[in-house]
A and B are shown apart, each in its own frame.
Chain A
Amino acid sequence: MHTPDGFLHPWMAGGFLVLSCLVLAIASRRARESLTEHRVQLFAVVAAAVFAAQMLNWPIPGGTSAHFVGGAFAAIVLGPHLGALAVALVVAVQALVFGDGGALALGANVWNMAIVQAYVGYGVYAALADRDERLAAVVGGWLGITAAAASAGLQLAVSPGFGGEFLAVVAVMAGGHFLLGVGEGVLTLLGVWLLDRTGVDAEQLRPSGVRA
């Protein structure tokens, strides 16, 4: 999911950097209104957990592997604005400290994994939570990562290097993550459950307790 430097046209990379900064600036303004000491600590734990969980690659039969991305998990636990900020911080650390994802492509990667995944995942979760909260977390995680992958696929597909392979690239990215995304959905539910088991204030885990 981490786009390296060299894949995107520089103008596109720059455009997504500006766009992501704008969205995160708005998210920061919205999120800080609900920031208590407790939520600051929860924000830190969730960000660290997303980083650590993204390092766990699990083998998939057929010669591929996948890892938890965590955008929907962070958004469900923290609310979409703070959730997006948590994953954006993780993506920045991955790129600037560990070289996972390009520095020039940082804006595009933040857009895909932090913004698209968090807001789509949270939107799906919020829409379904009244009916079945567990199912809502699974579907939110699943569709969140699929949307993020489709966004990354579109970015790649319109880049000059990928010219002529538009449908194939989008299909590989979105289709691949649509299948792998089931695991993301299950792990999203598992993450929310495990965090709840730590004894963190249950009110912090409810979307109604978060100013979205």
Chain B
Amino acid sequence: MSVRSFARVRWQRRSLAGLLGLVLLAPVCAWAAAQTGYAEPMDNAAELAGVASEAVPTGLSLFSGYALPGLGPRVGTLGGALFGTALTLVLALAVGRLLASGAAVR
């Protein structure tokens, strides 16, 4: 199975449409969450312990956030969501195929 052959079946086409819907919602939700000040419980715990400033940005990552650089927050977030979802889909297909081939070899 290639990536190109992925959308042949009805459930796959519907799933891909659902994924696209989630991707389109990403910039809307990012904007809405930003309006609240966005603090997850872990942020609150770190603030409580006075170590919030000790968080170190990951230097190994390709990007420094979900918004792709140079596109602005909304289009950048949309691009990040599209790129990340597609990348995860392709990587998962590759990992799944690798695992399946390992089972077949044994």
* Interface pair B80/A161, CB less than 8 Å apart: no
Given known pairs A45-B12, A51-B85, A52-B22, the reply for A89 and B29 (CB within 8 Å) is: no
* Interface pair B99/A28, CB less than 8 Å apart: yes
**Does any Cβ of B come within 8 Å of A126's Cβ?**
no
* Residues of chain B lying within 8 A (CB to CB) of residue A102: 56, 58
Task: Give residues of chain A (165-212) contacting chain B, Cβ–Cβ below 8 Å.
Answer: 165, 168-169, 172-173, 175-177, 180, 194-195, 197-201
Closest to B14 in A: A198
Q: How many residues of B contact A (CB 8 A)?
A: 65
* Residues of chain B lying within 8 A (CB to CB) of residue A52: 19, 22-23, 26, 81, 84-85
**Does any Cβ of A come within 8 Å of B87's Cβ?**
yes
* Interface pair A89/B42, CB less than 8 Å apart: no
> Pick the contact of B45 from A55, A57, A173 — CB < 8 Å?
A173
Interface of A is mostly: helix
- 9-residue interface stretch from A15-23, A61-69, A116-124, A128-136: A61-69
Extra 6 A-B pairs, beta carbons < 8 Å, given A55-B77, A89-B95, A98-B61: A43-B96, A48-B92, A51-B85, A52-B26, A59-B33, A64-B36
**Does any Cβ of A come within 8 Å of B71's Cβ?**
no
B residues engaging A (CB < 8 A)?
1, 6, 10-12, 14-16, 18-19, 22-23, 25-26, 29-30, 32-33, 35-42, 44-46, 48-49, 51, 54-66, 77, 80-81, 84-93, 95-97, 99-100, 102-103
Give A7 to B58 CA distance when docked, in angstroms.
12
> Pick the contact of A96 from B29, B61, B80 — CB < 8 Å?
B61
Interface of B is mostly: helix
Interface centre among A1, A4, A28, A66 (most CB of B within 10 A): A4
11 A-B pairs whose Cβ atoms sit less than 8 Å apart in the complex: A5-B58, A45-B16, A48-B88, A49-B15, A52-B23, A55-B80, A57-B30, A64-B44, A96-B58, A98-B80, A176-B40
* Interface pair B42/A100, CB less than 8 Å apart: no
* Interface pair A43/B18, CB less than 8 Å apart: no
Given known pairs A65-B36, A180-B41, the reply for A162 and B51 (CB within 8 Å) is: yes
